[in-house]
Amino acid sequence: MKRFILLMVINLGLLSISSASAQKFDNLAKTPPMGWNSWNKFACNIDENTIKGVADAMVSSGLRDAGYVYLNLDDCWHGSRDANGFITADSTKFPSGIKALADYVHSKGLKIGIYSDAGRQTCGGRPGSLGHEYQDALTYAKWGIDYLKYDWCNTENVNPKGAYTLMRDALHAAGRPIVFSMCEWGQSKPWTWAKDVGHLWRTTGDIYNCFDCIDDHGSWKAFGVMQILAMQDTLRKYAGPGHWNDPDMLEVGNGQKVNQDRAHFTMWCMLAAPLILGNDIRTMSKETAGIILNKEVVALDQDTLGLQGLNFETKDSVQVWLKPLAGGDWAFCLLNATTKDISFPIDWQHYNFTDKEVSGRSTDFDRIKYRIRNLWTKKNEGATSSNKTVNVPSQDVVLYRLTPVKK
């Protein structure tokens, strides 16, 4: 009997050890991750001086203090694998190595992210992690990495759930908390299976730096801001604290018009999307800084309820979006994706609704009077007790935060 009990205890112990490693790191990404990534602006042209310059700019511009703390290397930092199969950095571009870069980034009060791929090679043709998952996870932990974007090129017959779960387990076993960003472009509908695997998952193919168009390469497409937005609405029930839908990194400041950038940034905040900047923040314009550093808009994205907004309706070519916020507030957004300005009447009662699908929250405009704060003009605009007509400029937004007036 004693032997039986002893065996049971050992078995239970082993069970708890194996189940302890089979999980993702908890308490990471409780709100959508914020930071910067090298790909959208620099593609493969990255090196340690550029990245250090970006780190400096994240601090001096105020981005770090506004919450953008992850500085993420994307593709092409890699050299080859050493004789034992461990990955090394490209010694021409990163002569001091990734550990030294991570130390520099950490010394600025930032966190550092890295990039790999579940296949043989990354999309840029560098060594992928296939067959080296535990080795790579150990290496990242040793270097002090805080965030891993894990891509999906050259995966051939690899099974997505298996591959991402394997890397999750490898990261967990390596012991350093690392945000796990899954980049398989939504192909296997990761929102249906990845809640306990990754902290965020891409929902679409790559973003294309265009407000409203598709970049069609035949076998693959990249999507403009409006095209990506249209693919998000049905996914809102899958997102929440620690597990986010990722409609891809931002193109704000990469050459679109200021109104288009404002609409792009606003809609990513309405979606509770990860806010990963993709512009050259060392040289950004005042207009770009004014958009990405608007703290009241960022606060919609970072709201602690972690609820993705919804497209309530499209009326007279204006998309009306609502997002439930903590404390009974709502974000109310009018998006005009057309090329003409639109004068739009707001009858608040028309927006009485209950979010049955996700939060159970009701707007209740007949019983609750809300104070209206315009988050882009930064002005208060009265209350929802009176209806109003607003001008929604072409390819732009009107964005309100509604806060219940206490009786």
Rule CB under 6 A: say whether 393 interacts with ligand GLA: no
Q: How far is the CB of 288 from ligand GLA (least distance, A)?
A: 20
- When asked if residue 183 is in the footprint of ligand GLA (CB under 6 A), the reply is yes
Burial degree of 45 (CB within 10 A; 0-12, 13-18, 19+): exposed
Query: Residue 87, SS3?
Result: strand
276 binding ligand GLA? (CB under 6 A):
no
In whole angstroms, the minimum distance from the beta carbon of 50 to ligand GLA comes to: 16
CA distances in angstroms from 161 to 21, 211, 244, listed in the order given: 17, 32, 17
Residues 6+ away with beta carbon under 8 Å from 140 = 114, 148, 171, 174, 176, 178
Which letter does DSSP use for residue 40 in this model?
H
Whose CB is nearest to ligand GLA?
123
Query: Does 39 contact ligand GLA by CB under 6 A?
Result: yes
- Rounded to the nearest whole angstrom, what is the least distance from the CB of residue 152 to ligand GLA in the complex? 8
Catalytic option among 151, 248, 261, 301: 151
Gap between the Cα atoms of 195 and 239, Å rounded: 8
182 is an interface residue for ligand GLA by CB under 6 A: no
Q: Give yes or no for residue 303 binding ligand GLA (CB under 6 A).
A: no
Nearer to ligand GLA, 250 or 291 (CB): 250
Shortest reach from residue 39's CB to ligand GLA, in Å:
5
Binding of residue 48 to ligand GLA (CB under 6 A): no
Q: Can residue 215 be called a binding residue for ligand GLA (CB under 6 A)?
A: no
In angstroms, how far is the first alpha carbon of the chain from the final one? 69
- DSSP assignment of 363-404 equals --TTT--EEEEETTTTEEEEETTS-EEEEE-TTEEEEEEEEE
Q: 76, 43 in Cβ contact below 8 A? A: yes
The smaller minimum CB distance to ligand GLA, of residues 225 and 334, is found at 225
Is 206 a known active-site residue? yes
If binding is defined by CB under 6 A, does position 273 make contact with ligand GLA?
no
Question: Which one among 90, 133, 146, 206 touches ligand GLA, defined by CB under 6 A?
Answer: 206
For residue 150, the number of C-alpha atoms closer than 13 Å in the C-beta half-sphere is 31
Q: Does 332 bind ligand GLA (CB under 6 A)?
A: no
Q: Rounded to whole angstroms, how far apart are CA atoms 265 and 259? A: 10
User: Is residue 329 classed as helix, strand or coil in its secondary structure?
Assistant: coil
Given 74, 169, 206, 261, which residue is catalytic? 206
Give the largest CA-CA distance in the chain: 82
Is residue 329 within the footprint of ligand GLA (CB under 6 A)?
A: no
Smallest distance from ligand GLA to CB 149, Å: 6
**Of 183 and 325, which CB lies nearer to ligand GLA in the complex structure?**
183
Q: Taking the complex as a whole, how short is the minimal distance between the CB of residue 351 and ligand GLA, in angstroms?
A: 36
CB of 191 to ligand GLA, least distance (A): 17
Does 151 participate in binding ligand GLA (rule CB under 6 A)?
Answer: yes
Amino acid in the structure at residue 292: I
The yes-or-no answer on residue 301 being catalytic is: no
Residue found by looking up tokens 């040793």 in the block: 142
Total binding residues toward ligand GLA, as defined by CB under 6 A: 9
* 246 contacts ligand GLA (rule: CB under 6 A): no
Is position 251 an interface residue for ligand GLA (rule: CB under 6 A)?
A: no
> Closest separation between CB of residue 48 and ligand GLA, Å?
19
* DSSP character at residue 351: G
The per-residue b/e assignment along 365-396, b for 16 or more CB within 10 angstroms, e otherwise, is beebbbbbbebbeeeeeeebeeeeeeebeebb
348 touching ligand GLA, by CB under 6 A: no
Any idea which residue has 């620690």 for tokens?
A: 242
Q: Is residue 199 a contact partner of residue 27, using CB atoms and an 8 Å limit?
A: no
Residues 68-127 close enough to bind ligand GLA by CB under 6 A: 74-75, 122-124
Question: Which of 146/206 has CB closer to ligand GLA?
Answer: 206
Q: Which residues bind ligand GLA (CB under 6 A)?
A: 39, 74-75, 122-124, 151, 183, 206
What positions carry a catalytic annotation? 151, 206
